[in-house]
Amino acid sequence: MPPATFTSRDFNCEPSRIKRAAKQGPVIITERNRPDIVVISYER
């Protein structure tokens, strides 16, 4: 399963959505359409 991808705006406006996705697998946060940050669950 490919990592979920969200924009930096999503990251700022919907942090709980990003947290839920990170529990399923790595989440890539993009800045200006480029990968910038990877969020992973501590338990992974």
Domain count, the chain: 1
12, with CB counted inside 10 A (0-12, 13-18, 19+), is exposed
- The verdict on residue 28 lying in a domain is yes
What percent helix, strand, coil does the chain show, rounded to 5? 35, 35, 30
Is 44 inside a domain boundary? Answer: no
pLDDT value of residue 43? 87
Q: Which domain holds residue 17?
A: 4-39
Q: What is the pLDDT of residue 31?
A: 98
15 inside domain = yes
Question: Is residue 25 included in any domain, yes or no?
Answer: yes
Retrieve residue 44's tokens. 């992974």
Residue 12 falls inside a structural domain = yes
| 3-class secondary structure, 28 | strand
The pLDDT of residue 1 = 76
pLDDT at position 44: 66
pLDDT (tens digit, 9 = 90+) per residue, 1-44?
789 999 999 999 999 999 999 999 999 999 999 999 999 999 86
Structure tokens at 43: 């338990």
